[in-house]
Structure 1
Amino acid sequence: MIPGLVERMVPVDGASVHVVHGGAGHPVLLLHGFPQTHIAWRHVATSLADDFHVVCADLPGYGASSPSPGNDDPAAYAKRATAATMVAVMRELGHERFSVVGHDRGALVAFRAALDHPDVIEHLAVLDVIPTADNWAALHGAGGVFAFHLYLLAQPSDLPERMITADPDAFFGHFLDTWTGVPGAIPADIRAAYLAAAGTPRSIHAICQDYRASAFVDAGHDQADRDAGRTLTMPVLAMWQDPGDLVLPFDPRQVWASWAPDLRTRVLPCGHFLPEERPAEVTAAIRDLLAGR
């Protein structure tokens, strides 16, 4: 569903990661968020492929990628593990060094890849997210209402899987509909593709494991790095939606500045799905990052 890119299944450590890739030049890995697949990057990837080799991957258990090995252990979905998988995927495609751009869940994987593999990641862009440890620390009071899924999906029993399986279209459709700020940004056929991919029992379990990992594994990894004084060594771009009248319980710029000495930021007038709602602005900002501007 992304014209000009070639589909491939990449075997990595007993799993298969689904990617589409194409173009020539500096390699750029694009990672999607919840509850989406690689096609979230369809506009951005098509443009970037004019000048870069673009790789769009489905996260483990999302889209056409297989679940992580050790699927019943949330640690298998830790962003550290997924980041290592994505580095291996890019190496399998012939890229020893590359830049990575992530949105939402994909941005958490990209952030971890940049911290754990600074000799591999040349540039980092993160869209509409803050690191896991910072996010949990910021959530309190009524702010938790808007992030209820973080708590629900992380429940250590199979309760969320059972609840979501009862009506997956209603559950995942809620986020696709209420988090979008630009009408028509996610057309009916794309929305249907997201729901079909997310609504299988396999994907529902993988998504819950992804969120369990954030609650019980990823936050600890982030905090250990913070305590050790580790920061991002490459140029970093952070973009997020303009919150409008909503008062955020954190300052995204301040949070990212604490991790990234070489930081540039963009705030866009849209909802959560920046690559689909403001693809031209997102693409331009990524090009500026890669050009060193």
Structure 2
Amino acid sequence: MTYSRIPVADGVALNTLVQGSGSPVVLLHGFPQTHLMWRHVAADLAADHTVICPDLRGYGDSDKPDGGYDKRTMAADIVELAGQLGFPRFALAGHDRGALVAFRAGLDHPDKVTHLGILDGMSTYDTWDVLHGVSAAVAFHLYLMAQPPGLPEKLIGGAPDEFFGHFLDAWSQQGFPPDVRAAYLRASRAAVPSIVADFRATATADLAQDTVDFEAGHRFAMPVSVLHQDWGSVLGFDPRARWERWAPQLTYTAVTSGHFMAEEAPAEVIKAIRDLVG
């Protein structure tokens, strides 16, 4: 197990954990987390895969530049990262925000991504399309961080532990070990501007990119495995049907764990990734 700071673009380096050997699997974390969320899954996969777990641009111990938080740029970061490690082709799985980066990488780099795994995420196009009325309150943070620079950063920066802690508590069925929760809060507290920039891009550049691809009929060329909570019962839509529009080679699994499934139900996630990549 080794950590490295790997340069990917324009002076930006990603803090990256690499462990194991064999065919590569890249794992991308979600919000408000770091690569630490994959600790159980990575330990298992490393028995016969090279497992690559970066902190995304703007998160954890990776660099936090002023820009480059559209998912096309963040996906290019991951392709360059894998290439720097000697892997021109790789399997890729992402959770939450990492799922958005993985989604974009799969569409933009079908020659690089061999298999695509998505944990509790959807395209930006679909996410904004299904948020309606009072049920959209579950995603109030998307609207807050979509606001122009200044106000969101000040509001969140005024009480960062309360803000980020809300999601760690509300979206989990089991909670987190105290040291892990503290690590997530510490990392998020130090990254408010870049986290906001990541979410702001979801309401602008990311939505525009996804809309172009959807309307042009672009679809995933590789096998795709999606693990979801039952979003449809909350927001009133069929998530499987949404994914079938993007992924001709789709395996869809509904899970009973909370949002943080790689930590709450690692055995289910490990099985899904192993079934996907072989």
Structures share a fold, TM > 0.5?
Answer: yes
Q: Does 1:66 align with 2:56?
A: no
1:107 corresponds in structure 2 to 99
Unaligned runs of 5+ in 1: none
Contact 2:18 2:53 in 1 (8 A): yes
Q: Does 1:32 align with 2:29?
A: yes
Query: Whole-Å Cα distance in 1 between the matches of residues 212 and 230 of structure 2?
Result: 30
Query: Whole-Å Cα distance in 1 between the matches of residues 46 and 129 of structure 2?
Result: 38
Q: Which of 247, 254, 257 is the equivalent residue of 1:260?
A: 247
User: What is the percentage of aligned positions where both structures have the same residue?
Assistant: 51
Q: Which of 41, 48, 51 is the equivalent residue of 1:54?
A: 51
1:138 corresponds in structure 2 to 130
1:8 corresponds in structure 2 to 4
1:210 corresponds in structure 2 to 198
Deviation digits for residues 128-170 of structure 1 (CA, Å, limit 9, x no counterpart): 0110011101111012111000000111131111011111110
1:192 corresponds in structure 2 to 182
Deviation digits for residues 101-136 of structure 1 (CA, Å, limit 9, x no counterpart): 000000000010000000000000001011001110
Query: Whole-Å Cα distance in 2 between the matches of residues 250 and 286 of structure 1?
Result: 25
Q: Does 1:96 align with 2:88?
A: yes
Contact 1:127 1:240 in 2 (8 A): yes
Contact 1:240 1:274 in 2 (8 A): no
State the number of aligned residues.
Answer: 277
Q: Which amino acid aligns with 2:105?
A: A
Unaligned runs of 5+ in 2: none
Query: Whole-Å Cα distance in 2 between the matches of residues 206 and 23 of structure 1?
Result: 31
Contact 2:136 2:235 in 1 (8 A): no
SS in 2 for 1:265: strand
Which runs of 4 or more aligned residues in structure 1 lie more than 4 Å from their structure 2 counterparts after TM superposition?
A: none
Query: Whole-Å Cα distance in 2 between the matches of residues 136 and 279 of structure 1?
Result: 29
Task: For residue 248 of structure 1, report the CA deviation from its aligned partner.
Answer: 2.7
Q: Which amino acid aligns with 1:164?
A: I
Contact 2:130 2:235 in 1 (8 A): no
Q: CA RMSD in A?
A: 1.1
Task: For residue 42 of structure 1, report the CA deviation from its aligned partner.
Answer: 0.4
2:16 corresponds in structure 1 to 19
Query: Whole-Å Cα distance in 1 between the matches of residues 236 and 184 of structure 2?
Result: 29
